[in-house]
Structures are given as structure tokens and as C-alpha cells.
Amino acid sequence: MYYTIEAGHRAAGLLHNPFNSLIAPRPIGWVSTVDTQGRPNLAPFSYFNGVSADPPMVMFAPNEKDEVGTPKDSFRNVVETREFVINIVPWRLRNEMNLTSTVLGHGQSEFELAGLTPVPSHLVKPPRVGESPAALECKVWEIIALPPGRGARRYHVVLGEVVAVHISDDCIRDGKVDTLKLSPMARLGGFEYMSVDHVEIIPRPPGGGT
């Protein structure tokens, strides 16, 4: 038997909408931004991904803070300053990452709250997380407002072009990224997370596309 659920409906027998649990694992974009006064902000977003390799582009999708449409600080900052950094979250920083989802007043720094080091970026104003093994410096390309859903909090998609990449040499082996060393954490449904503890190489079939 399958549950079949039309958008906007609930299924008898399921406690939650399964959507988030089915789009899993999701990478976590740990987004650093600055406000117009240069004050740093840091927050995790699991509606995050790369969307193209050439040019390298990423997206993350913040929803609103409340029912009256107050923007989250990350969103307000990218609208006002058009720059952000995606920091990769290694499994060892899972608790720090979680802590940076705390709602603080605008201008208050989650770097400080979580004991993380803001390190100046190469081409953009937002600092990167010094403890992260890798970071992507981004400039906003476009911000798209998604249609309203049934809840009151709307989402936007922030699309950014990656203008610089940082990767710790600890995570490089034979000239390639060692994913086990990078140890990126991912989000599953609800409050479930996972780490990467197994990597397998599956070459393309003959005639496989790139």
C-alpha cells in the first residue's frame, strides 16, 4: 500500500508531511553575510544546493521569520549587500551549526554565539567560518519570490554565482577532494542528520553523458 497525498492535504496515518524526509539527504549551506554596517551573520539552510558547474552557481531558500513577513537576517543582508559565503559544515561542527540557527537580533553575530572565527574572505565582504574546511564566496545573481503556499511564511530562492572557492589542504589527497576528510554533514527529515562514512566509485557506463 502507498500513501498518496495531494499538495496541501494531510494523510491519515502520517504525523507530518513526508516532503522534507523524501528530499534527503540535503546538503547544508552555512550562509555567512554582512549587513550594511558590515556586521556578520551566520545561519544554516538545508534548502541549499549547487545548480550549475559552469559558471559555478548555488541556491539557498530562506523563508520568512514570522507570519507578518519579517525577513530572516540572511535574506535581508543578501538583498541589501548582494554577497554571501556558503561554508561547508563538517560533521564535527554539527552542534555549532545547529546553534547558529538561534534567532538573534539584527546585527548580533552567531559567530560569537557559537564560538566560531570569522575569517576575511578573498573577494566578498562576508567573512567565512575559519573552522570550516571549505567555503564558496558568492555574489547574488537573482532573487526569486516563490508563490505563496498555504502557510503564511513565503520563501525566496537566492541564486548566487561562486566567485572564489576555499578548500583546506587537509581535505586534498592526490590532487582531489577527499570527501571522507571533508566530512560534509547532511540533513534528513525533521531533526535527523547524517555524516558521510562510506564512499564508492561508480564509473559512467559506455556512452554515459557528462
Ligand X SMILES: Cc1cc2nc3c(=O)[nH]c(=O)nc-3n(C[C@H](O)[C@H](O)[C@H](O)COP(=O)(O)O)c2cc1C
Q: State the residues that interact with ligand X by CB under 6 A.
A: 28, 41, 43-47, 61-63, 72-74, 98, 101, 103, 187
Distance from C-alpha of 167 to C-alpha of 184, rounded to nearest angstrom: 13
Q: Any bridge partners for residue 76, and if so which?
A: none
Provide the minimum distance between the beta carbon of 147 and ligand X in the complex, in angstroms, as a whole number. 16
Q: Any bridge partners for residue 187, and if so which?
A: 26, 193
Nearer to ligand X, 115 or 205 (CB): 115
Provide the minimum distance between the beta carbon of 175 and ligand X in the complex, in angstroms, as a whole number. 31
Provide the minimum distance between the beta carbon of 171 and ligand X in the complex, in angstroms, as a whole number. 21
What is the identity of the amino acid at 198? Answer: H
Nearer to ligand X, 73 or 83 (CB): 73
Provide the minimum distance between the beta carbon of 169 and ligand X in the complex, in angstroms, as a whole number. 27
CB 90 within 8 A of CB 133: yes
Nearer to ligand X, 52 or 101 (CB): 101
Nearer to ligand X, 63 or 87 (CB): 63
